[in-house]
Chains A and B, each alone.
Chain A
Amino acid sequence: MTMLLDIIGGLLLVAGTAFLLFGGLGLVRMPDVFNRIQAGTKATTLGTLLTLAGATCLQPAWGVKLLLIGLFLLFTNPLSSQVLARAAHRSGAGKSEKTSIDRLEEDQRKKP
């Protein structure tokens, strides 16, 4: 039983770190701040959740605390990304040349 949990835990840890790695790669490869935030948020959320789940399998006694950390992350991670994105947009951060449309900027121009 412990053996099985160890294996599952190990696999979850590897999967979690893999997503974190791809998220990091996304940060480097994406062309502008908004796309970078996109890459950062999603990968860190799932990556960290999987890592926490893996840790729970290896140390079941920590389960409740790790679950709380996961919940906390689930709420704060997207929120901080949104605030960053909004601040970037308000301060006129550069957008990739590939950007096809920006409704927010259009609407802000309409307002006096």
Chain B
Amino acid sequence: METSDKAESGAHNQVILFTTLFLFWIMLNGTLAADTLLIGALASLSIALLLPNGLSFFTELQDTPQALVAGVRYYGYFFKELVRSNIKLTAIVLTRDLPIQPGIVKVRTKLKSRMGRLMLANSITLTPGTLTVELDGEWLYVHWVTVESTDIDAATAKIVSGFERYLEVMYG
């Protein structure tokens, strides 16, 4: 029973992966000519078949209107943080005595889905002063240029919570 469930979700994943790749291909080529479509379909199909566990942007995405709203707000928040991150880093790099106090802290995530965790790890890497070093189940090890707190809960609140509240709705 369980194995057939697993096989089914694998096939479902492959369909999503194929669709994403194929759409990407069409947009990249900007044409609907038959030969282009055929090559794209063949390539997408082989990749999807070779990677039954492959993740794509739409894998595990919830199909609720709330997820869509959360997605839009997530990107708004994300770009704000990305700009903030760059300004902060530029300020550090341009300061004569390099004011850093690096360290690797441990944080915990509530997210259960693989795609949700992947997006979280990516988001953390692109936000002010943090870089995901290792993922271990619900634990993330994060390198922090200026360690503000070594406590797990406090660090989680500072690093993870901002993104988690959107990703939770998007991917669960």
Chain A contacts to B: CB under 8 angstroms: 19, 22-23, 25-26, 29-32, 34-35, 37-39, 41-43, 45-47, 64-65, 68, 75, 77-79, 81-82, 85-86, 89, 95-96, 98-105, 107
Contact = CB atoms under 8 A, between A and B. Distances in A.
**Chain A interface secondary structure, helix, strand, loop or mixed?**
helix
Contacts of A77: 126
A105 B56 CA distance: 32
Contacts of B28: 65, 68
Interface of B: 24, 27-28, 30, 57, 82-83, 85-86, 89-90, 92-94, 98, 100-106, 121-123, 125-126, 129-134, 141, 143, 145, 147, 150
B26 to A, nearest CB: 10
A42 B103 contact: no
Contacts of A105: 104
A75 B133 CA distance: 16
Contacts, number: 126
Given A22-B94, A45-B82, A107-B106, 12 more contacts: A25-B94, A29-B93, A30-B100, A34-B133, A43-B89, A65-B30, A75-B122, A78-B122, A78-B123, A85-B143, A101-B150, A104-B141
Nearest to B128: A42
Contact of B104 (A19, A25, A101): A101
Nearest to A77: B126
A79 B147 CA distance: 22
Contacts of A100: 101-103, 147, 150
Contacts of B93: 22, 25-26, 29-30, 39
B126 A78 contact: yes
Contacts of A43: 86, 89-90
B85 A42 contact: yes
12 contacts: A19-B86, A22-B93, A26-B93, A34-B143, A45-B82, A46-B82, A82-B132, A85-B131, A95-B102, A98-B101, A99-B103, A104-B134
A30 to B, nearest CB: 8
A38 B103 contact: no
Contacts of A29: 93, 98
Q: What 8 A-B pairs are tightest by C-beta distance, nearest first?
A: A78-B125, A101-B103, A103-B106, A104-B141, A78-B122, A26-B93, A100-B103, A22-B90
Nearest to A108: B134
A100 B146 CA distance: 10
A49 to B, nearest CB: 8
